[in-house]
Structure 1
Amino acid sequence: MRPPVAAGPLSRFRILDLTRIRSGPTCVKQFGDWGADVIRIEPPADASGYADRGSSDFQNLHRNKRSLTLDLKTEAGRELLLRLVAGADGLVENFRPGVMDRLGLGWAALHARNRGLVMGSISGFGQVGPYAARPGFDQVAQGMGGLMSVTGLPGQGPVRAGIPVADLTAGMWCAMGMMAALLEREVTGQGRWVQTSLLQAQVAMLDFQAARWLIDGEVPGQAGNDHPTATPMGVYPAADGEMTIAVSGARMWRDFCVVIGRPALADDPDYATPGDRLRNRPALNALIGGITAGRAIAEWTEALLAAGIPCGPINAIDQVFADPQVQALGLVGEVEHPTRGPLKVLDQPVAMSGAASVLSAPAPEAGEHSAELLAELGLTPDEIETLKERKVT
């Protein structure tokens, strides 16, 4: 039986998880954390790409799931998956395009078995096009999708972001598309095949940088810690470290000049308008930095916020989770691991009135729930043991 948990908003859904690495599990996590019954399908010999299932990364990605081992290269394994598909609401996979079809488990086969199934597919470069068969990796998508060209200091050369932006956003886009399809299914009774890729997600995340090219014909470059189109907005030294300050608009510019003790600067012809400030940004940043270096971050934060000017410290990861606002927002949850005890994991960054995300269980061991899930399909203990002996499960 499924472990008893508080009913979440998605508790009526069953999702089959055939995913690996990061983008797919990120998608599935959105369902599991809101109460869906997630069944992770994995090979009898773990081929997930993780040497240590107890690692912090694996535990954070794969909580709230039951695990069933199936060898999908065998006819018996595929037939068991299709039996699960018949009673499922969604299935997520992130194999290369064509792999599911070669297994006889592509969209056409799954849709024929369950017309209401919503299938989510995440690939490196999409299901069609000249690159469809290429293997995908986050940093490759960051490079090909333009992110590395606008990240880093001017003239530094391409720089990857410090988190797997393409992987994470592809997972979230896929989850959003699947939830839209599940909503539509409640009207039509028909499922859809939802497709995205690391490249699509990364290009979509270019946002205003993409608009600068598509609409204005401008190719953005690296701006380092400065905002690409506004200033003063970036990183400035303080007496005890560095901080971010974001000044936007005429009112804020004038108030900022008062706070730093240079009110006349607001009307200086070199800096009076946004265009003036951008053209003279190096000199303006040097001037501001010479002033901000004289006081501590906390002093500047108090003074700037009193004037309605956004600012804040630059936190290391340990400082992030020590921050009282992060703590107040409840971004850290806890699951109980059978051998490691309580494990802190990232919770959902969404608050919902009258409902809460569900952290019910740590990442399962491979095949931990195989016997119970096969029994739920109607198999007898002898049949289950035979499948195990044949290494189907």
Structure 2
Amino acid sequence: MSTKRTPPLAGVTVVEIGAFMAAPFAAMQLADLGADVIKVEHAVGGDPVRQTGPFLGTESSPFVRINRNKRSVALDLKSPDARRAFLRLVERADVLVENLRPGAMRRLGLGYEDLREINPRLVYASASGWGQDGPLAGLPGLDIMAQARSGLMSITGHPGGPPAKVGVPICDLVCGLYVALAVTAALRERDRSDAGQYIDVSLYEAGVSFAVWEAGKYFATGEVGGPMGSAHQSNAPYQAVHSSDGYVTIGATTPRNWQAFCDALGLTHLLDDPRYADAFSRLANRTELIGTIETVTSTMSTDEIVERLNKAGVPCAPIADYGEVFTDEHLAARDFFWDAEHPTVGPVRQLGSPMRLSETPVRRDGAGPMLGADTREVLAAVGCSPKEIEGLVASGAAVAADG
């Protein structure tokens, strides 16, 4: 029987200067793993996601989810006094994660070269649209621009249709995941060298990193892929097909699964058809193959197809909407969703972390904090006197939600 222990990143202090998605999502991963994440927000308004609906009372519903397990300190870093308080915080931190426009932190005197002078062990991670150098570095870069330039939008959607992006901000999110992974790697290296380092991750390169199949094709043959709807780039049948009441996804690409698929749906005559003799042949003749498959699947309900294929051991799944996902019995059985407490709105339903560690489980603490909820506590812990803290609050260089 497993005994719950201290989370793996307990004792690691992370300072986040993040807005919107990439840095906050990265820091959320680190917070889930036990790090003490101190979210430093602008004293006026804080993270812009705080103004993004829908709202729970006066609190942003997206904000209180993506910023769970964190503490909030509200400072105006353009104020000399607030900047001095921030530097005290950095002196004792292990990690800084930021996603301001390249150069913005340097202009504040808070770039990596500045901060390593006061904390040589600091791991400093920057997330940006295009990276910290190169011809595009100075341009604004949102997720949709990264999806466009990275090639993702060129292969998303249906042939001949208008441009389509992935339904979630995938470049933002995977950039955040790469930042979190790089930070943990840099902390491991610091165990050996006792020195911090700088990490540069971009939405653009995060998006390009997905092109595993496309790179394999292009660098081998020079062929450039295009949109294929739900179909796979190099396997068939592997896509959504019509049922009598919608669609169902199928994946019958191995010899065993192809045999079981045909047997389960009464398509055994396809097993002797030379056009479908192997995976390469089925891919070359995909249009005819899918048409034949759909003459059968379109007469059956999605539930019936899934039941038959599951019984035969063939990979398949219905296409669920999020109303179904968020009430899914499998996820409920695995205790994926959980409620985080918030001081004003009460329990806030959270998406669980996909990281399941048997001995050191991830944290499930509070929902995203109110702006400046921890300003006084955090600044006092890094040596600011009560007089200094009250002076910051009185001048507007800091916000403290606790009074």
TM range (shorter): over 0.9
Q: Could you say which residue in structure 2 is the equivalent of 1:43?
A: 42
> Which one of 193, 196, 199 corresponds to residue 194 of structure 1?
199
Q: Could you say which residue in structure 1 is the equivalent of 2:401?
A: none
Q: Could you say which residue in structure 1 is the equivalent of 2:380?
A: 375
Say whether the 8 Å CA contact 2:92–2:382 is kept in structure 1. Answer: no
3-state SS of paired residue (1:157)? coil
Question: Residues 269-323 of structure 1, C-alpha deviation per residue, up to 9 Å, x if partnerless?
Answer: 2322323322322222111111012222222222212222100111011111222
Q: Could you say which residue in structure 1 is the equivalent of 2:360?
A: 355
**76-85 or 136-145: bigger deviation:** 76-85
Say whether the 8 Å CA contact 2:90–2:119 is kept in structure 1. Answer: yes
Q: Distance in 1 between matches of 2:397 and 2:370?
A: 17
Is it true that 1:83 corresponds to 2:88 in the alignment? yes
| Structure 1 consecutive aligned stretches of length 4 or more whose deviation exceeds 6 Å | none
Say whether the 8 Å CA contact 1:238–1:292 is kept in structure 2. Answer: yes
Say whether the 8 Å CA contact 1:149–1:157 is kept in structure 2. Answer: no
The letter of the residue matching 2:47 is: S
Q: Could you say which residue in structure 1 is the equivalent of 2:267?
A: 262
Q: Could you say which residue in structure 1 is the equivalent of 2:218?
A: 213
**179-188 or 283-292: bigger deviation:** 283-292
Say whether the 8 Å CA contact 2:88–2:383 is kept in structure 1. Answer: no
Is it true that 1:317 corresponds to 2:322 in the alignment? yes
3-state SS of paired residue (1:77)? helix
Q: Distance in 2 between matches of 1:357 and 1:167?
A: 22
The letter of the residue matching 2:201 is: T
Q: Could you say which residue in structure 1 is the equivalent of 2:55?
A: none
Is it true that 1:59 corresponds to 2:64 in the alignment? yes
Q: Could you say which residue in structure 2 is the equivalent of 1:281?
A: 286
Unpaired runs of at least 5, structure 1: none
The letter of the residue matching 1:142 is: Q
Question: Residues 64-118 of structure 1, C-alpha deviation per residue, up to 9 Å, x if partnerless?
Answer: 1111111111221221111111110000000111111111110111111101110
3-state SS of paired residue (2:71)? strand
Q: Distance in 2 between matches of 1:386 and 1:320?
A: 49
Q: How many residue pairs align between the two structures? A: 389
Is it true that 1:365 corresponds to 2:370 in the alignment? yes
State the 1:6 CA deviation. 7.6
Say whether the 8 Å CA contact 2:244–2:299 is kept in structure 1. Answer: yes
The letter of the residue matching 2:253 is: S
State the 1:243 CA deviation. 0.8
Q: Distance in 1 between matches of 2:268 and 2:388?
A: 82
Q: Distance in 2 between matches of 1:251 and 1:383?
A: 71
Is it true that 1:68 corresponds to 2:45 in the alignment? no
Taking the TM superposition and a 5 Å limit, the aligned residue runs for 1:112-127 are 112-127=117-132
> Which one of 262, 286, 296 corresponds to residue 291 of structure 1?
296
The letter of the residue matching 1:226 is: A
The letter of the residue matching 2:367 is: P
Is it true that 1:244 corresponds to 2:249 in the alignment? yes
Q: Could you say which residue in structure 1 is the equivalent of 2:179?
A: 174
Q: Distance in 2 between matches of 1:285 and 1:17?
A: 49
3-state SS of paired residue (2:372)? coil
Unpaired runs of at least 5, structure 2: 53-57, 399-403
Q: Could you say which residue in structure 1 is the equivalent of 2:149?
A: 144
Q: Distance in 2 between matches of 1:228 and 1:318?
A: 29
Q: Distance in 2 between matches of 1:74 and 1:18?
A: 16
The letter of the residue matching 1:318 is: G
Is it true that 1:29 corresponds to 2:34 in the alignment? no
Q: Distance in 2 between matches of 1:371 and 1:170?
A: 32
**66-75 or 374-383: bigger deviation:** 374-383
Superposition RMSD in Å: 1.6
State the 1:266 CA deviation. 1.0
Q: Distance in 1 between matches of 2:15 and 2:218?
A: 40
Q: Distance in 1 between matches of 2:91 and 2:97?
A: 15
3-state SS of paired residue (1:215)? helix
The letter of the residue matching 2:255 is: A
The letter of the residue matching 1:354 is: E
The letter of the residue matching 2:269 is: A
State the 1:47 CA deviation. 4.1
3-state SS of paired residue (2:326)? helix
The letter of the residue matching 1:19 is: G
Question: Residues 326-345 of structure 1, C-alpha deviation per residue, up to 9 Å, x if partnerless?
Answer: 22333212101222211101
3-state SS of paired residue (2:173)? helix
Is it true that 1:19 corresponds to 2:18 in the alignment? yes
Q: Distance in 2 between matches of 1:375 and 1:266?
A: 73
State the 1:377 CA deviation. 2.1
State the 1:150 CA deviation. 0.4
Q: Distance in 2 between matches of 1:81 and 1:119?
A: 15
